[in-house]
Amino acid sequence: MTECLPATAAPDRLLTPTMVRLLAAVFGAAISFYLLLSVVPLYVASTGSGSAGAGLAMGALMLGTVLTELTVPAMLARFGYRTVLSLGLILLGAPAAVLATSSNLVLVLVVCLFRGAGLAIIVVAGTALVAKLVPARRRAEGLAVYGVAFGAPGVVGLALGVSLTSWVGFDPIFLAATVTSLAALILVPGLPSRRDHPEPPVPVLRGLTRSGLLPPALVFTSITIAVGVVLTFLPLAVSEDRRELASAALLVQATAVLAARWLAGRFGDRLGSERLLVPSVGLAAAGMLALVAIGNPFAVIGGMLLFGIGFGSAQNVTLAMMYDRVAEAEYARVSAIWNLAYDGGMGIGAVTFGAIVGATGYSTAFGLTVVVLIVAFIPAWSERHSRPLELDPARPD
């Protein structure tokens, strides 16, 4: 029997049974992802590869993600959501167990590549499916609900992973990341098995400059460059005897991201998401600037609060703006572009920062990251009065 997406009998309902299953599966995948996000760079650095190795680990994760994101829309067209999401959960979870067998840098980088591919599948397929499942007039709020499901594990996972390394070591954390992702497979049979329209997907990057998708994507890329810096190097920037400060800062940041993404969704549907873009960039830049005073605990905590608010708001704002500018047939494409901006930016930030921090020191390198966010004000300002495009559903973009 062929499954299809839920009928629109209750047009304002967000939490349909299919949506709840998707959110639960994404929640399990996110636990696996966030537990290791800052732990793997710390693991690499502590086993002899230093800051450069830590940056390469994050870069490999994001490289695997970016390369796979370009292919996910075509995978969805051929195999459907259920099969593709199952593959993503397996690739994200199973390789994590391999980390418990060796700290060899090459092996770690290969594991990160595979996990990045799994992450790409989950975030592109999951985000595209959410856009189909929620009513159009509540899309920003629906995306915020999805963001909460994926981001909530980060509230605990980012800080808990780093903190637990001092108590139980690395291996139990690697195994926990494996179990949480693979356990989510039991939820997949309740998800749609096929796409609900037969059109082949538009190539991901075709017509990007004239589609209206590029400005919000560029703004979001600038912010995620800073995200890659923070999540990879904040635990390394503080001294080893103050690792709990890094854990607390990551907890504050993740909590702020979650709250800000939810509020941006609530207000975005009412006020227009484009009006929130410039404030999002400003808050992220202010938070990053505070990290220049990395030796001051109040600056670190306060900076991560501001940065988290800006980043969380930008997540929902940019994604809602991009979905407003395409027809439904291109939702998977928008998801791929947005996630390319997310993961590509994180990878660029981690690798570049890792390459320069040895020569500049952490304070100066954090200051250089602020410059990237200041540049993002240019496209953000140009978009502040933009409106959703009126699209002819039959018109190819």
When computed from its CA atoms, the radius of gyration of the chain, rounded to whole angstroms, is 20
| 136, 393 contact by CB (below 8 A) | no
Of 141, 378, 158, 178, the C-alpha closest to 267 is 141
Does some domain include residue 9? no
pTM of this prediction exceeds 0.85: no
| 39, 156 contact by CB (below 8 A) | no
Does some domain include residue 388? no
Distance CA 150, CA 220 (A): 18
Query: Residue 368: CB partners within 8 Å, gap ≥ 6?
Result: 356, 360
Q: 84 φ, ψ to 5°?
A: -65, -40
Does some domain include residue 10? no
Longest dimension (CA), the chain: 61
Q: 334 φ, ψ to 5°?
A: -60, -45
- Counted domains in the chain: 1
pLDDT tens across the length of the chain (397 residues) = 344 444 444 457 778 888 999 999 999 999 999 888 878 888 888 877 777 788 888 889 988 988 998 888 888 888 888 999 999 999 999 999 999 988 888 999 999 999 999 999 999 999 888 888 888 778 888 888 888 888 888 777 777 777 787 788 888 999 999 999 999 999 998 888 765 444 455 667 776 766 788 899 999 999 999 999 998 888 888 866 677 888 889 889 988 998 998 888 887 767 777 888 999 999 999 999 999 998 899 999 999 999 999 999 999 899 888 888 888 778 888 888 998 898 889 888 988 888 888 889 999 999 999 999 999 999 888 876 665 554 443 333 3
- Token look-up 């006020």 returns 271
DSSP 8-state symbol, 9: S
Does some domain include residue 224? yes
DSSP 8-state symbol, 103: -
The domain of 29 spans 17-382
Residue 27 sits in a domain whose CATH number is 1.20.1250.20
Helices (H) and strands (E) in the chain, counts: 14, 0
Does some domain include residue 7? no
